[in-house]
Amino acid sequence: MRRLLHRLAPAWWSLGLLAVAAAFYLPEWVGEGAGMKLASPWFLLGLFAVPLVIAAGLLESRTAGRLRFPLAGPLAAIGPTWRTFLVPVSVGLRATAVTLLAVALARPQDSTQPDETELKGIDMVLVLDVSMSMKATDLEPTRLDASKAVVQDFIKRRKNDRIGAVIFAENAYTLCPLTLDYSVLASMIDDVKLGVISGNATAIGNAVGVALNRLRKSDAKSKAVILLTDGASNAGNISPEQATTFAKTLGIKIYTVLMGERDVASVASGLDFFKQQIFGTQNVPINRELLEKMSKTTGGAFFEATDRKGLESSFHAILDALERSRIADQGMVWSEAFRRYLWPALFVMILDLFLTLAVLRRTP
């Protein structure tokens, strides 16, 4: 019985080491939150070599060379040395190495740890209203200055996104094409002033149309227009409804931010004798329903900002929505996990080679 167990030692060691490896790697495949797949599963056919390795070890233990010696009694009394117990270990190491190598060649991929560098950014255009109503002071210091500050903070939080800018009032113009140079974009937005273009009307449709023209040839999977305005559309040769239809056709989402909540807003009208601001009121028609419809039709979102804090919250919400959109549009992202199997396989092979050539070396 003892002799049988000794001959089967390579099989026991192989099964034991394979069980340890399985206990270590199995949670990746069946544990909570596991998300693994094999890109080249045919390489798992290499696992059929594992029984052959174990069988070769068993055969080697039975046909090991024997040396005839007239005084065998004293040698038998010495008994096996510690090296003798390492012989079946070598077989177990080979079986484990073959198993790990076969799994590594099958290219396991993990969805639980996506490689962020593989996620492409979003192409987006910021559309900023610079009509004269933007000098209202309900968003301190003015609607325009508040929107410029929040937009610049938004830009600083982006990483791989290409961002462009369009300004509009009675007409719409590209302020900056899509770019990754955020410092230049922020500087150009900072230089925007009221009066740079005729500001007595609001052409929302034209503004969105110019933004769509910038995004039309983009190959990004996620594209968005962020529209900041405080008024109703009352100018331009493209209606907001037409621009919305174009955006939906191109797969571009529109996020709208309405600044202000009343048709009448407080506006700084000049300075008095003591150099103090004089405030008056100005009629600023708003069209909340239009902005809601534009965002809903294209899959974007509508936000309303009645003060500076509300404007900042709106942009934080847009930031979160864009991040979710980016991940969803990229689909399931898989990262290569074969290294987690390849390096241990190479280590086990080197360990077996060391045992065979140094510790268990036989003398003919």
Which tokens in the block code for residue 62? 């039975």
Percent of the chain with pLDDT over 90: 21
Distances (CA, A) of 324 to 204, 268, 286, 328: 27, 40, 30, 6
**Mind listing the domains of the chain with CATH numbers?**
2-114+334-359 (no CATH), 119-330 (3.40.50.410)
Cis peptide preceding 141, ω within 30 of 0: yes
If one counts every other C-beta atom within 10 angstroms of the C-beta of residue 141, the result is 13
Q: What is the mean pLDDT of residues 91-114?
A: 82
Yes or no: say if 112 and 33 are a contact pair by the CB < 8 Å rule. yes
Give the pLDDT confidence of 301-329 residue by residue, as tens digits.
998 887 778 888 888 888 777 766 554 54
pLDDT digits (tens, 9 = 90+) for 210-234: 999 999 888 888 899 999 987 678 8
Of 286, 316, 321, 284, the residue nearest 301 (C-alpha): 321
313-322 contacts at long range (C-beta below 8 A, 24 or more positions apart) = 314/257, 315/150, 315/151, 315/153, 315/154, 315/257, 318/154, 318/226, 318/255, 318/257, 319/154, 319/157, 321/255, 322/122, 322/124, 322/161, 322/222, 322/224
Residues 125 and 214: beta-carbon distance below 8 Å? yes
Q: What is the mean pLDDT of residues 159-178?
A: 91
| Positive/negative CA dihedral, 313, 191, 161, 329 | positive
Task: Find tokens 């990483």 and name the residue.
Answer: 159
pLDDT in tens, 120-157: 678 999 999 988 878 777 777 888 888 898 898 888 88
Q: How far apart are CA 313 and CA 323, in angstroms?
A: 16
* Under 8 Å between Cβ of 202 and 232: yes
Is this structure's pTM higher than 0.95? no
Residues 146 and 140 sit within 8 Å (Cβ to Cβ): yes
Q: How confident is the model at residue 205 (pLDDT cuts 50, 70, 90)?
A: very high
